[in-house]
Amino acid sequence: MLNRVILVGRLVADPELRYTPSGVPVANFRLAVDRQFKSQGGERETDFINIVAWRRSAEFATNYLGKGRLVAVEGRLQIRQWTTQDGQRRTTAEVVADNIQGLDRPKEPGAAMPEETSGLEPEPEVGEEAGPGPWADE
């Protein structure tokens, strides 16, 4: 079986960096990805896709990427379910990034940026994740 996702889009906002209770960095951001086809009105529709990056990929995204940057993300699709404090069941889809690459230049002159990062380190164990996940407020 294969679960592989490759996306190219622009960051909707700056990545948010957090740490698990055991100190593992995790970054969350949303990517705006235009669809290949146009609507009946002649306009392109855009999908807003949640991305989660761990460890070095999380630090790369937070340190070198910002709102509006063109980025390629390679990873896997993950569907998570949880129950809120008031008993409602929630489901979310997100891409867990294995590789993140900046495709345009930083707007700040002189800002050096590594071209890409690969999250070759394994994800934390399930017990290391903090709460229902980075998109729990949706």
- 20-45 per-position pLDDT tens digit: 999 999 999 999 999 988 878 888 89
Top-confidence residue, 128 or 77: 77
Residue 137, pLDDT > 80, answer no
CA dist 55 to 9, 42, 83, 91, 122, Å?
22, 41, 26, 24, 9
How far is residue 95's CA from residue 53's CA, in Å, rounded to a whole number?
A: 9
* pLDDT one-digit tens code per residue, 50-69: 999 999 999 999 999 999 99
Interacting residues of 62 by C-beta distance below 8 A, sequence separation 6+? 14, 15, 16, 17, 25, 27
| pTM attached to this predicted model | 0.76
Residues 6+ apart with CB under 8 A from 63: none
Q: Is 5-128 CATH 2.40.50.140?
A: yes
